[in-house]
Amino acid sequence: MTLSTLLIEDDLDLAQTVIDYLELESIQCDHASNGVAGLQMLAEQEFDVLLLDLNLPRMDGLTVCEQLRQQGRDIPILMLTARDQITDKLAGFNAGTDDYLVKPFELDELVVRIQALSRRRSGQVQLLSCADLEMNLDTREVRRGGEPLKLSPTNWRLLETLLRASPSVVSKQKLEQAVWGDETPDSASLKVHLFHLRKAVDGDFEQKLIHTVTGHGFVLRASDETSA
């Protein structure tokens, strides 16, 4: 089946080059030249992967990404930008992007990234659960005891990683990889996000689900026999 992508890019020469190359690789590519038009196209049509420029007229790429995640859209997003600072990359990942490609990039690498991202969502109509905690990957909803929980995009990825592994322990490195990819975050970043995740998930509930396993990592399960 042919992959379908949407490229939101205001550099028309680059956009045409990308479109032409992807077509040679049997990847369909539609194009929008600004963020508002891109959001409209995403509302009207389904795409396998979104290629999103950071600097866009009318609405920048970070805002487009944030709005999509707030809407519960789980389309894989590859952010394209000339910015290569770690702070810019972290801003993109925190906004909800899945991957990051710095301009200028090789077109064959772009194809590989697209193909990898397109496989992440296959068969993704699933319900992950532990005790009375449920995460619906189709509707992008999390509930505990039937009540909806509000999670940031970062905490969503952390919780999904813990739920997919439950009741096994997830290492600190794997959690950081799930959120920040190959970029090394600030040493306190994971600790801060886990604090907020625990507050959202466990709150005032008597039964705590998120536990620290000393020397090993973190686990999400109903019992805490080996945690610190």
Decide if 105 is inside a domain: yes
170 and 106 housed in the same domain: no
Query: What is the CA angle 182-187-190, rounded to 5?
Result: 75
152 and 169 housed in the same domain: yes
Burial 61-82 (b: 16+ CB within 10 A, else e): bbebbbbbbeeebbbbbbbbbe
CATH assignment at residue 36? 3.40.50.2300
114 and 15 housed in the same domain: yes
Decide if 26 is inside a domain: yes
Looking at 101, 118, 135, the residue that finishes a domain is 118
Looking at 118, 144, 174, the residue that finishes a domain is 118
Looking at 118, 147, 175, the residue that finishes a domain is 118
Number of domains in the chain: 2
Give the pair of three-digit tokens for residue 213.
């396993």
Question: Is the confidence at residue 121, as pLDDT, over 70?
Answer: no
DSSP SS3 for 193: helix
73 and 139 housed in the same domain: no
69 and 136 housed in the same domain: no
**Among 101, 91, 93, 109, which residue's Cα sits nearest to residue 9?**
101
| Res. 1 pLDDT band, cuts 50 70 90 | low
Q: How many Å apart are CA 67 and CA 62, to the nearest integer?
A: 9
Work out the end-to-end distance of the chain between its first and last CA atoms, rounded to an integer number of angstroms: 49
Q: How many Å apart are CA 155 and CA 200, to the nearest integer?
A: 9
pTM of this prediction exceeds 0.75: no
156 and 104 housed in the same domain: no
111 and 7 housed in the same domain: yes
| Domain that includes residue 205, residue range | 127-220
| Res. 110 pLDDT band, cuts 50 70 90 | very high
Decide if 226 is inside a domain: no
Question: Is the confidence at residue 193, as pLDDT, over 90?
Answer: yes
CA dihedral of 43, 133, 195, 159, whole degrees rounded to 10: -50
